[in-house]
Structure 1
């Protein structure tokens, strides 16, 4: 049976973790990005559908392509981040379902024939996977700056022109520099946010 993680682990992943707006110049190696994916991929998704798709923008040329789609307040920090992950949704995730979810041999056709179900399932579960990505990054010693201040249509036109993938949110990753952090905002209390019936 699993045991609770120690206080140090909880602090690194939740209690002391922050959203970073500035990062040091320390690079994020490609091998670490693969390790990050190989950790987060074990997070659960509905029917093991795994619709997340992750485009890692690291090179100056790729960053230049991304920059015009960013809101002005997000441009400088994103251009300076060691890497930006476009957390996207694979709108044809069901093509993998015969392998990923053999328990239901009709899963692929169920989604192929129902566009609304496909869209809802894809967005919900790619968002879940994006959350797992943040937690896994923190577990591996990386800091994160998730954001939604960008033009999704512009990102999709630039990076996903064939229409299969749709951007969900952006995630800057690296080794944080706390000098540009805002004061930490309060969280709702359990009394405000939780109902137990």
Structure 2
């Protein structure tokens, strides 16, 4: 019989979930892109529908290109992003079906089947890219980084700045750094969470 997978210890689980907060303002210090690369390399093995993997990443270092993207952010999100060491725009590729012969070869003809079903591809791309975003956030934490996800932005405006050549469609932005700043509202107080009994039904 296959050997059962061992559970992670509580300290590791704490460092990934309960012990971490969304970070709005980060401590000083650059983020090594290699850490982001490693986080993706781990997160990519998590499941998506038919292994479609529609999430795409646009990494923005401080500079003119990120400044142009920030112009399309709402509220205080621009200020937070300008102060962040590194920013990653999470998007999805509406043409994810083009890669199905490689990603899901056991089912022939999927690229052709989905070619004319744009509405279906849009929904499946968004749903699975959001799923991958969750994996990616946890993977970034596992590599010692703190993350500030944001969705308050004009997605078409961001796309015009950084996705005009790819056709990718923006979903959210992750600001990434090493720990919270000691100044300002770097992390908000912990909000309540539902417990299992409140959100489940068991038959």
TM-score by length of 1: 0.95
- Considering fraction of residues, name the structure with more helix: 1
The 5 A counterparts of 1:27-46 are: 27-46=30-49
Report the alpha carbon displacement of residue 132 of structure 1 after superposing the two structures with TM: 0.7
Distance in 2 of aligned mates of 1:119 and 1:172: 25
Answer whether contact 1:43 1:132 (CA < 8 A) is retained: yes
Consecutive unaligned residues of structure 2, counting only runs of 5 or more, are: none
Tell me, which stretches of 5 or more residues in structure 1 are unaligned? none
Q: 1:196 maps to what in 2?
A: 202
3-state SS in 2 of match to 1:158: helix
Cα distance per residue 1:105-163 (max 9 Å; x no partner): 11111211212221111001111111111010011110010011111111011111246
Aligned match of 2:84? 81
Q: Is the 8 A contact 1:156 1:163 kept in 2?
A: no
Matched, 1:134 2:122: no
Q: Helix, strand or coil: the match of 2:17?
A: helix
Q: Is the 8 A contact 1:56 1:83 kept in 2?
A: yes
Indicate which of 154, 163, 168 corresponds to 1:160. 163
Runs of 4+ in 1 over 6 A off after TM superposition: none
**CA shift for structure 1 position 18:** 0.5
- Indicate conservation of the 8 Å contact 2:60/2:88, yes or no: yes
Which residue pairs with 1:187 in the alignment? Answer: 193
Q: Is structure 2 residue 121 aligned with structure 1 residue 118? A: yes
Bigger shift: residues 47-56 or 187-196: 187-196
The answer to whether the aligner puts 1:67 opposite 2:70 as a matched pair is yes
Q: How many residues align?
A: 197
- The alpha carbon displacement at 1:12 in A equals 0.7
* Contact 1:85-1:171 within 8 A present in 2 as well: yes
Q: CA RMSD in A?
A: 1.3
